[in-house]
Structure 1
Amino acid sequence: MSEWRFIVLAATVLATPLAAAEPRLEKLWQTEATLKVPESVLYDAARKVLYVSNIDGTQPWENDGVGSIGRLDLDGNIIEVDWVDGLNGPKGMALAGDRLYVTDNDAVVTIDIEKGAIIDRLPVPDAGNINDISLGEDGVLYVTDSKKGLVHELADGEFTTLVDGLTALNGVLYSDGELFFVADGGLHLVGDDGAYTTLASGIEGRVDGVERIDADSWLVSCWKGPVFHVTRDGEVTLLDDESGTIVAADMGYDPVNRIAFFPGFWENTVAAYRLVID
């Protein structure tokens, strides 16, 4: 090969942009299978623990009084399976100071974290299946009713419906002044007037949990197992690894270390994965 042809080829190779690496999940640990149908995980950075909602039993929406909240350390060791008991079908959780808020089929339950005890139970009017919850500004809570397809705002003990007419509604997330929910295979953003915009669609596997990675990207977990990386411009990437072999349900997330915590539901486990974005 002549010298000039070598130089041209080398220059062409150097000028060709490298393909961007796909985001991926790397497994860190998995608990023993001693939890009780875990549906949701919540990360508590201040206390360095994970809260896990245990539905317990085969009827997730039955008011049977056997549900509980468990606690794990950040290495996947189970501190207590039944830290707080006396719940029905606990699912989504939100944290505000020393209060843990839990959706419990038809009510929002308040737990005093220092006491490890239920201190309030607020029924949701005309509840269907109250599922997820997220903390907004000034103590406002956002709650989803999956059966009726509603997103509620809870402020000063009163519920106000913000969005209705949804199908396959599950997770809700308030983050950096924006309110999101996952429903009907998509990630949606709620506007000031209650109307919503679909940011991404085509997320398969029964959307469940949603957590924010940065200003323009999110993780979405699905009850049937798959986990997706979703961007504001509508790009949906399947994170295809072991997370797709178990029920992912409503994940927790450590945004500093980019670690997601997936409840295994029928497997009675929680697994931790690090999100890697090269």
Structure 2
Amino acid sequence: MKFSTKPATTTLCALSLLLFLGISCGPSSTNEEREETTVQENTTTEPSMELLWETSEELTTNESVHYEESDGLLYVANIEGGPDEKDGVGSLSKVSTDGAILEKDWVSGLNAPKGMTVVGDFLYVTDIDRLVEIELSTGEINQTFEIEDAVFLNDAATDGQKVYFSDMRTNTIHYLEDGNIHTFATDQNSINGLRVASDGTVYGLDSEGLKQYGSDGSFEIINDEVTGGDGLIIIDEDTFIASRWGGEIFLIENGTATKILDTTAEESNTADIGFIPEENIVLVPTFFKNKVAAYQLSY
């Protein structure tokens, strides 16, 4: 049988044309697409804090704010008198998460209350040389723990059982456990802010920076830029928020600090900060400005 070569040649040419068109017109990575991809890859969110609300100026020299997850309220410690004076004029206030002052004098008759934390049914607050245990449901003082040789108790934190608290002037971290006071770490120069991670690791701020403590009170410095810090928040094992009293707040991420708020020009202090984790809201006690300010954290 005789075969013609013409159809085969035509078919081959058609196939070649289709292949060429497929290569030329099919999906490809254009310069514009590559540039867009590069822009998307290089886009990062700069950490920042945006003001959401402020309370009225009725919280006299408020030093600390604690967000309590169990009742969804803010607890504010007001020194009112001198920060180391046993004058009986200090108080604790209840505030809503939108800034309304619910009970200005929820607890009164304290001296110079500062750091707070909650374990079970009780709120614990440092008060110069004693740790005060307050019933959360009633605001009644249940008992006080006098701390031998204490001078200037400051922040408080918990792992759910122990209550850790710092003495800024004796350079000591103590803890309360089963009704007894113990020493956790000494020679921590001007130790102030404390927090405990979910795994029980203790972190602190002192004149050397941000420290991570072992169970025996030994430590390593994980950031030496934010020295003389006040309030401390743990975001995760690599990310922290730290404040300096004078008006600065920093994001510390993988050991590196970035300043995300500076209110020193306004003379608005940033003392022992609190945090609403599910909303990424940082709560700032402004001390001499007599109000709490809430900021949306972005990072």
Q: TM-score, normalised by structure 2?
A: 0.84
| Mapped contact 1:227–1:244 kept (Cα < 8 A) | no
SS state at 2:42 partner: coil
- Does residue 1:169 correspond to 2:199, yes or no? no
| Mapped contact 1:227–1:243 kept (Cα < 8 A) | no
Once the two structures are superposed, the pairs formed by residues 1-278 of structure 1 within 5 Å of their partners are: 11=34, 14-15=37-38, 17-57=41-81, 59-137=82-160, 139-177=161-199, 178-184=201-207, 186-203=209-226, 206-231=228-253, 233-240=254-261, 245=266, 246-277=268-299
CA deviations 1:163-198 (Å, max 9, x no partner) are 111222111111112110001151110012321011
- Greater Rg by CA: 2
CA deviations 1:64-89 (Å, max 9, x no partner) are 11101011011101111111101000
**Which runs of no fewer than 5 residues in structure 2 stay unpaired?**
1-28
| Mapped contact 1:24–1:239 kept (Cα < 8 A) | yes
User: CA–CA distance in 2 between the matches of 1:21 and 1:13?
Assistant: 17
Q: 1:155: Cα distance to partner?
A: 1.0
Amino acid in structure 2 at the alignment position of 1:87: L
| Mapped contact 2:248–2:263 kept (Cα < 8 A) | no
Q: 1:53: Cα distance to partner?
A: 0.4
User: CA–CA distance in 2 between the matches of 1:41 and 1:213?
Assistant: 17
User: CA–CA distance in 2 between the matches of 1:241 and 1:56?
Assistant: 24
CA deviations 1:125-160 (Å, max 9, x no partner) are 1112111111114x2111101001111121122222
Coordinate RMSD, CA, aligned: 1.9
SS state at 2:288 partner: helix
SS state at 1:256 partner: helix
Which one has a larger percent strand, Structure 1 or Structure 2? 1
Q: TM-score, normalised by structure 1?
A: 0.91
Give the number of equivalent residue pairs: 268
**Which runs of no fewer than 5 residues in structure 1 stay unpaired?**
1-5
Q: 1:13: Cα distance to partner?
A: 6.6
Amino acid in structure 2 at the alignment position of 1:95: V
- Misfit runs of 4+, over 6 Å: none
Distance 1:21 1:241, change over 3 A: farther
CA deviations 1:196-253 (Å, max 9, x no partner) are 011111116x41000111231011011001100012x311000035587410100111
SS state at 1:151 partner: strand
